């Protein structure tokens, strides 16, 4: 696997500064949870911790992201790694911490069928798990050939119950405009980026050396970027929360005011089936109107509904919150209301034009058999710390990963310091929900100015939005 490209420098510019372990700790009340849940700090700071995976024995694996040197932003270069951790005495604190390769990992690590899967921006690999904390077997290349691009390169993963692997391929732009991040630039129609990006591709989870074009099957299309993605075993369907587009007010000030720029569009929670189209770049979802709207790059004016046949979201979450991980709880050792429900983590916004930023929290969506059964609610909050946060770099923590442990405990990661929390239900455990039945058949197939943009993170890991913004000159 090759070292990551120089776009990682932009990550430093976009608020992913790594604070050293041992920096002043906030008070213990910074994280708020529902009554009955308690949190321990599993590890105080690993560096840029992203997604996590937990073995049946409780060993935790964390993706620590690759970083380039950016001294002007107080960040030192560091190789990526998978960090293996073990709690020897069950007190909710890691006793053994062992980092190991690969050096170019960005966000993703998952466990499936006895294998530890991980990804760079261009390929997916796996390592066989054994009886050691750090697996000793060789890494196997599973899928690759994804395009190198300046932004949204993270290859997040999901697995169904029929042996298939699903890989996100995010788009390299905001809205597929003719001139990137330029005011009033029309969109390219049809958008050529959808040929290799803007969707999810399906592969054989056990195949080796698979290529996106030769072997991958485009499963869905029209998604700007998906970092939060998981297979729901009770519905036997793929679910995801998509990062919506940015900068409606900045790029189209005659159509959208500052408030609209902050509140549009939604971060969309979806169930996906083979062949679905979710509308990017031709449309966006307006969470205030509850309607899918035509993008201004493609003839929209802020009031015109979308022309295409695009799937509607289950929920339209507030704009720019940056959904970065998702899982469905087994129901083990938690109150019954949480069984089968979705936990979604939001990294926090940047694109609210000097207003208070939003997100920085974990929310819970009650569900049963893949259907939403009630209103979403905040589960974990307080990550941003005290005071007003107008820039994501001012947040104490930026939550980014979720995982469930073998006893129903919930792990939460963040990537400012790399802190890991373990959350447990501390009262008498409720009855557990029955596990889903096995399926034997295959699944069917911007900111106010350029300087502010450079100091804020755009979505999950990288973006060219702030760096490339410029006014369109009049003829």
Per-residue model confidence as pLDDT tens digits over 209-242: 999 999 999 999 999 999 999 999 999 999 999 9
pLDDT over threshold 70, residue 437: no
Query: What pairs with residue 378 in β-bridges?
Result: 363
Q: What is the pLDDT of residue 22?
A: 30
The average pLDDT across 439-458 equals 32
* Percent over 70 (pLDDT), the chain: 82
The average pLDDT across 252-256 equals 97
Cα 280 to Cα 271: distance, rounded to the nearest angstrom: 16
Decide if 61 contacts 109 (C-beta within 8 A): yes
Q: What is the pLDDT of residue 454?
A: 34
Residue with tokens 């490209």: 5
Q: What is the pLDDT of residue 77?
A: 78
What single DSSP character describes residue 255? T
The average pLDDT across 104-111 equals 95
**Degrees (nearest 5) of the Cα angle 358, 359, 363?**
145
- Residue among 474, 466, 463, 436 nearest 160 (CA): 436
pLDDT over threshold 50, residue 433: no
Q: What is the pLDDT of residue 244?
A: 96
The average pLDDT across 108-126 equals 97
pLDDT over threshold 90, residue 135: yes
Q: CA-CA-CA-CA torsion for 278, 279, 281, 282, nearest 10 degrees?
A: 180
Which of 351-360, 380-389, 444-453 shows the highest mean pLDDT?
A: 380-389
Of the pLDDT bands very low, low, confident and very high (cuts 50, 70, 90), residue 71 is low
pLDDT over threshold 60, residue 416: yes
- Indicate the helix (H) or strand (E) that contains 269: strand 267-272
Q: What is the pLDDT of residue 473?
A: 34
Largest CA distance in the chain: 71
Q: What is the pLDDT of residue 25?
A: 42
C-alpha pair distances (Å), 347 with each of 50, 173, 391, 402: 10, 20, 13, 11
Question: Which of left, alpha, beta for 343 (phi over 0: left; psi -120 to 50: alpha)?
Answer: beta
Per-residue model confidence as pLDDT tens digits over 92-102: 999 999 999 88
C-alpha pair distances (Å), 389 with each of 108, 352, 368, 384, 447: 28, 11, 36, 7, 14
The average pLDDT across 9-15 equals 33
The average pLDDT across 256-279 equals 97
Q: What is the pLDDT of residue 340?
A: 98
| Average pLDDT score over the chain | 85
Q: Which of 113-127, 142-156, 197-211, 439-453 is predicted least confidently?
A: 439-453
> What is the dotted CATH code of the domain comprising 8-468?
2.120.10.30
- Residue among 326, 357, 462 nearest 48 (CA): 462
Of the pLDDT bands very low, low, confident and very high (cuts 50, 70, 90), residue 471 is very low
Of the pLDDT bands very low, low, confident and very high (cuts 50, 70, 90), residue 27 is very low
pLDDT over threshold 90, residue 166: yes
Of the pLDDT bands very low, low, confident and very high (cuts 50, 70, 90), residue 276 is very high
Residue bearing the bigger pLDDT, 259 or 20: 259
pTM of structure = 0.86
pLDDT over threshold 80, residue 458: no
Residue with tokens 């006793």: 95
Please count the other Cβ atoms lying within 10 Å of the Cβ belonging to residue 438.
Answer: 8
Per-residue model confidence as pLDDT tens digits over 298-343: 999 999 999 999 999 999 999 999 999 999 999 999 999 999 999 9
Residue with tokens 């009886």: 131
The residues spanned by each domain of the chain are: 8-468
């Amino acid at each position: 696997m090759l070292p990551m490209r120089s776009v990682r420098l932009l990550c430093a510019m976009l608020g992913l500064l790594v604070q050293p372990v041992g920096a002043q700790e906030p008070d213990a009340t910074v994280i708020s949870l529902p009554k009955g849940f308690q949190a321990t700090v599993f590890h105080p700071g690993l560096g840029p911790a992203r997604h996590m995976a937990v073995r049946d024995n409780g060993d935790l694996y964390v993706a620590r992201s690759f970083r380039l040197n950016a001294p002007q932003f107080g960040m030192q270069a560091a190789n990526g790694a998978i960090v293996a951790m073990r709690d020897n005495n069950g007190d909710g604190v890691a006793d053994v911490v062992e980092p190991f390769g690969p050096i170019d990992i960005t966000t993703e690590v998952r466990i499936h069928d006895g294998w530890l899967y991980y990804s760079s921006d261009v390929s997916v690999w796996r390592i066989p798990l054994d009886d050691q904390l750090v697996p000793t077997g060789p890494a196997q290349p599973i899928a690759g050939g994804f395009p190198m691009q300046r932004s949204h390169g993270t290859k997040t993963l999901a697995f169904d119950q029929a042996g298939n692997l699903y890989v996100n391929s995010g788009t390299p732009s905001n809205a597929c405009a003719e001139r990137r991040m330029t005011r009033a630039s029309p969109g390219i129609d049809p958008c050529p980026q959808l040929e290799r990006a803007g969707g999810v591709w399906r592969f054989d989870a056990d195949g080796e050396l698979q290529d996106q074009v030769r072997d991958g099957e485009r499963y869905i299309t029209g998604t700007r970027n998906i970092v939060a993605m998981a297979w729901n075993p009770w519905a036997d369907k793929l679910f995801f929360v998509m990062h919506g587009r940015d900068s409606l007010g900045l790029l189209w000030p005659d159509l959208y005011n500052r408030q609209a720029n902050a509140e549009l569009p939604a971060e969309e929670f979806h169930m996906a089936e083979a062949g679905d189209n979710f509308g990017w770049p031709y449309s966006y979802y307006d969470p205030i109107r509850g309607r899918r709207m035509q993008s201004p790059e493609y003839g929209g004016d802020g009031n015109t509904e979308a022309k295409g046949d695009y799937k509607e979201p289950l929920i339209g979450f507030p704009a720019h919150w940056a959904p970065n991980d998702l899982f469905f709880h087994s129901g083990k050792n938690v109150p019954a209301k949480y069984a089968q429900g979705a936990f979604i983590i939001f990294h926090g916004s940047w694109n609210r034009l000097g207003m208070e930023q939003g997100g920085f929290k974990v929310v819970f969506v009650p569900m049963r058999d893949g259907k939403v059964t009630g209103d979403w609610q905040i589960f974990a909050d307080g990550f941003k710390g005290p005071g007003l946060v107008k820039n994501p770099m001012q947040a104490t923590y930026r939550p980014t990963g979720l995982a469930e442990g073998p006893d129903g405990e919930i792990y939460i990661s963040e990537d400012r310091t790399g802190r890991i929390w373990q959350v447990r239900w501390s009262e008498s455990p409720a009855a557990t929900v029955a596990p889903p039945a096995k399926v034997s058949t295959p699944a069917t197939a911007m900111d106010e100015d350029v300087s502010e943009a450079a100091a804020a993170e755009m979505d999950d890991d990288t973006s060219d939005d702030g760096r490339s913004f410029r006014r369109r000159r009049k003829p």
